Amino acid sequence: MNAVELKLFKPKAVRAKSGDREGHEQAALMLEIELRHPDVFALIYHVPNGGQRHKAVAAKLKGQGVKAGVPDLVLPMARGGFFGLYIEFKATPPNDAAVSISQYTWIRQLSEQGYLAIVCRGHFDAMEQLRAYLRLEPTRVAV
């Protein structure tokens, strides 16, 4: 074979696929919640604020009320004197991202309104915090 033939059949470099580690871990968390706590799974939901979007779509969503920094998961189940639980979900270190200023601001504002708002790093941390929250007495609401 000559040099020209070698160039034609040179294998392409294989790059690792960029993975959404945070998304995979959050999906694993949701599956565990569904299996272990179906009553919680019925109420907990994800706020899809992140991700890459076309500028026109991002502008449309912003006009509809999407706000930067809102925590990823919301559990509208009152416990321990709190009105509900908000979780800002990050991947397990070393794959975790920093908590942004807007995320810290939301956590502070939600805490001031009577919610438990926390940052969890990974599936296991989030599950541990959720179990601790569920062990709290239900918040009594005067009607």
Per-residue model confidence as pLDDT tens digits over 68-87: 899 999 999 999 999 999 99
Phi-psi region of 12 (alpha: psi -120 to 50; beta: other; left: phi over 0): beta
Q: Would you say residue 52 has pLDDT above 80?
A: no
Q: What share of the chain is helix, strand, coil (3-state, %, to 5)?
A: 40, 15, 45
Starting at the edge strand found earlier in the chain, the sheet holding 85-90 runs 45-46, 73-75, 85-90, 116-121
Distance CA 65, CA 85 (A): 21
Q: Are strands 45-46 and 73-75 parallel, antiparallel or unpaired?
A: antiparallel
What CATH number has the domain spanning 27-135?
Answer: 3.40.1350.10
Q: Would you say residue 38 has pLDDT above 80?
A: yes
Q: Would you say residue 2 has pLDDT above 50?
A: yes
Cβ atoms 86, 118 nearer than 8 A: yes
- Stated pTM of the model: 0.83
Tell me what pLDDT residue 11 has: 54
Q: Would you say residue 88 has pLDDT above 50?
A: yes
Question: For residue 66, what pLDDT band results from cuts at 50, 70 and 90?
Answer: confident
Cβ atoms 48, 61 nearer than 8 A: no
In angstroms, what CA-CA distances link 75 with 40, 85, 134, 140? 7, 5, 11, 16
The sign of the torsion formed by the CA atoms of 64, 67, 71, 72 equals positive
Question: For residue 59, what pLDDT band results from cuts at 50, 70 and 90?
Answer: confident
What per-residue string of b and e applies to 54-72 under the rule 16 or more CB within 10 Å gives b? eeeeeeeeeeeeeeebbbb
Q: Would you say residue 21 has pLDDT above 60?
A: yes
Domain limits, the chain = 27-135
Tell me what pLDDT residue 6 has: 52
